[in-house]
């Protein structure tokens, strides 16, 4: 849910609101790419679903998403982080 004043107006950006699972899978099947840039997400189910529907995955190198994204995925390299403990 994005308020009207925060929405980006562009011909290639579409806001669809809340979707049920069937609608979501239909959207994935119509899409070429699925962008998931969460930081340190270990195994996001949405990436598994989008990949199963044929999307090419674009994801962060941090976390485990890159490991399930597939051979043809596009990985955005994150800076290394240091544990200060």
Measured between alpha carbons, how far is 13 from 21 in angstroms, rounded to an integer?
21
pLDDT in tens, 55-76: 999 999 988 899 999 999 999 9
- Cα–Cα distance for residue pair 56/8, rounded to 1 Å: 23
Alpha-carbon span 65 to 8, nearest angstrom: 26
CA-CA distance, 1 to 33, in Å (whole number)? 21
Q: How far is Cα 57 from Cα 4, in angstroms, rounded to an integer?
A: 28
- Kindly report the pTM of this predicted structure: 0.81
Answer positive or negative: Cα dihedral of 38, 4, 12, 14. Answer: positive
Q: pLDDT, tens digit, for every residue of 31-54? A: 999 999 988 888 899 999 999 999
């Amino acid at each position: 849910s994005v308020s009207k004043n925060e929405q980006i107006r562009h011909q290639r950006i579409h806001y669809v609101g809340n979707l049920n699972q069937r609608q979501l899978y239909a959207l994935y099947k119509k899409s070429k790419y699925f962008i998931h840039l969460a930081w340190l997400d270990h195994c996001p189910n949405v990436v598994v679903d989008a990949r199963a529907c044929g999307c090419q995955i674009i994801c962060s190198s941090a976390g485990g998403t890159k490991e399930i994204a597939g051979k043809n995925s596009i990985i955005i390299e994150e800076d290394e982080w240091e544990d200060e403990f």
